[in-house]
Amino acid sequence: MTSTAVRPGAPSGPVPEPPAPGGAGRSGFAGLLDLPVAAARGLTRSVRTSPGRLTVIGVGLVVLALVFGVVGTIAVQGKKDTINDLIDHREPLTAASQEVYRSLSDADATSADAFLVIGAEPPEMRERYDQDIARAGAALAKAASDSEGVAAAAAQVDIISRNLPVYTGIIERAKANNRQGFPVGASYLREASHLMRATILPAAEELYRIDTERLTAEQDDAAGFPWAGVILLVAVLGALVATQVYLTRRTNRLLNIGLVVASGAMVLVLLWGVVALIVQGTLVGGGRDDGSHPADVLVRARIAAVQARADEMMTLVARGDGSSYEQDYQRLSPQFSGLLTEARGLLDGPAAQQITEAGASANAWLEAHKDVRAQDDGGNYAEAVKKAVDTTAPDSAASAFGKLDQALVTAIDAARQNFLDETRNADRALTLLAPGVAVLSLVAAAGVTMGIRDRLREYR
């Protein structure tokens, strides 16, 4: 018999192999790096079994439904917030910037008008001028509250704020000299009017343009269709249908109650959301087309008319040296007439009637202006002034302009009311849609969970 010598202290049996590099023995940071790989391998092994595939499908559907719920709710609530901002914030601020422009233009015209009245300044003219300045100041403060963060708007507010006290100061000096019969009063008035026309009104016009563009941009945003949310919703519905087809083929069962409930919830969201959003977008568009847009056209017509009225008065104040004012009047008169013609095709009902009356008054004013110029150029200055400022004479320029201005104010108010009515109705069209999307998405997620859970129980 042969014997084998064994080294003392050596273990008996087979010698174990050392662990392979990168195996289960890795720890620390290297082990953390292995976790995703291990998870992916485990998921792959799980997906190879029917229960594993169902679990992955169920989790994916739940996540997809919840993601849509979050995205859809945020999108709908964002639209609703935008619409409310249009009603409560953006349109009133646009109206405020328009009021700055109009009130300052009217103050310039009224101050010139007062200079042509023989004797003391009529109290009603002084009151109108003071109201114009007060309204312009209040509207400017409101517009300034919204100019922070918009450099262009803030710059215009700053220009108006710095120069308006200078203008009013010059006007007061002009009136003081005029009361004492000093001719220098007219020079002060012309200086103030130049400051208004060359510096203040261009800044007010630019401020109004900026706010109008911001209003239009918000209306476009509110009227836009949320395609991303709709595409995500269609993806959820497609995934639900594909899952039910898969289960029918695997189990020979036509319906899965949980998935049917989930699909029904998503179909309800689709129908409700699409109808509500189309109605809302149409109403917001109506608020723009029948409200803010014609209001803008009418505002620009009114401002052009008020500036032309100031030109008419300043031509007389200048007494033979006002050709530049008359040239500006001739530039503005076709402008406001053309804007009235444009506005006539944008509104209907009582507002359209007011625009028609404004057009008739504008034509009467243009004819009265020709008489004013004929009297002034013919040397009959007193008669020209009377024709221009006498509000009691039905054929005077003052009477015709007053009717034009009142008709424009009524039409502008009607257009603004159209905007508010249409936009409020757009807000109502989205009532409960945001919480409805959230709730129905949760219902869909719960339906998926129950439907997949019932199939998984069959494998136990």
In this predicted structure, what is the pLDDT of residue 182? 83
For the chain, the structural domain boundaries read 64-315+323-454
Q: Are 120 and 179 in contact, with CB atoms under 8 Å apart?
A: yes
10 Å Cβ neighbour count for 221?
15
Residues 452 and 460: their CA atoms lie apart, in Å, by: 14
Tell me the per-residue pLDDT of 85-102, one tens digit each, with 9 for 90 and over. Answer: 999 999 999 999 999 999
How does residue 44 score in pLDDT terms, banded at 50, 70 and 90? Answer: low
How many Å apart are CA 152 and CA 170, to the nearest integer? Answer: 27
pLDDT of 3 reads 45
CA 257 to chain centre: 45
Is it the case that residue 271 has pLDDT exceeding 60?
A: yes
pLDDT above 90 as % of the chain: 62
Which residue reads 């900026």 in tokens?
210
3-class SS letters over the chain: CCCCCCCCCCCCCCCCCCCCCCCCCCCCHHHHHHHHHHHHHHHHHHHCCHHHHHHHHHHHHHHHHHHHHHHHHHHHHHHHHHHHHHHHHHHHHHHHHHHHHHHHHHHHHHHHHHHCCCCCCCHHHHHHHHHHHHHHHHHHHHHHCCCCCCHHHHHHHHHHHHHHHHHHHHHHHHHHHHHCCCCHHHHHHHHHHHHHHHHHHHHHHHHHHHHHHHHHHHHHHHHCCCHHHHHHHHHHHHHHHHHHHHHHHHHCCCCCHHHHHHHHHHHHHHHHHHHHHHHHHHHHHHHHHHHHHHHHHHHHHHHHHHHHHHHHHHHHHHCCCCHHHHHHHHHHHHHHHHHHHHHHCCCCCHHHHHHHHHHHHHHHHHHHHHHHHHHHHCCCHHHHHHHHHCCCCCCCHHHHHHHHHHHHHHHHHHHHHHHHHHHHHHHHHCCCHHHHHHHHHHHHHHHHHHHHHHHHHCCC
- Supply the pLDDT for residue 26: 55
**pLDDT at residue 49, as a whole number:** 72
Is 39's pLDDT higher than 70? Answer: no
Find out whether 351 and 415 touch, Cβ atoms under 8 Å: yes
Long-range contacts, 58-62 (Cβ 8 Å, 24+): 58/448, 58/449, 58/451, 58/452, 58/453, 60/239, 61/236, 61/239, 61/240, 61/243, 61/262, 61/445, 61/448, 61/452, 62/445, 62/448, 62/449
Residue 217, both tokens? 């941009």
Residue 192 near residue 171 (C-beta atoms within 8 A): yes
- Look up residue 106 and give its two tokens: 């009217």
pLDDT of residue 40: 57
Q: Residue 5: its pLDDT value, please?
A: 44
Compute the average pLDDT of residues 243-256. Answer: 82
What is the Cα 207 distance to its own chain's centre? 15
* Section 180-186 average pLDDT: 84
Percent above pLDDT 70 for the chain: 88
The pLDDT of residue 6 is above 60: no
- pLDDT-derived band at 194 (thresholds 50, 70, 90) equals very high
Report the sign of the C-alpha dihedral through residues 200, 204, 205, 207, in that order: positive
| CA 96/CA 142 separation, integer angstroms | 7
The 10 Å Cβ neighbour count of residue 198 is 10
Average pLDDT over the chain reads 86
Task: Name, in order, each residue with C-beta under 8 angstroms of 439's C-beta and a sequence gap of 6 or more.
Answer: none
Q: What is the pLDDT of residue 13?
A: 47
Calculate the alpha carbon distances from 205 to 89, 102, 157, 291, 320 in Å.
Answer: 20, 9, 11, 20, 30
Average of per-residue pLDDT across 276-297: 94
Chain position carrying tokens 């998984």: 456
Mean pLDDT calculated for residue range 185-203:
92
Q: What pLDDT band is residue 29 in, cutting at 50, 70 and 90?
A: low
Q: Which is nearest to 384 in space by CA: 394, 393, 395, 373?
A: 373
pLDDT tens by residue, 321-366 = 888 999 999 999 999 999 999 998 898 888 899 999 999 999 999 9
pLDDT of residue 38: 62
Could you tell me how far CA 210 lies from the centroid of its own chain?
11
Distance from C-alpha of 170 to C-alpha of 122, rounded to nearest angstrom = 19
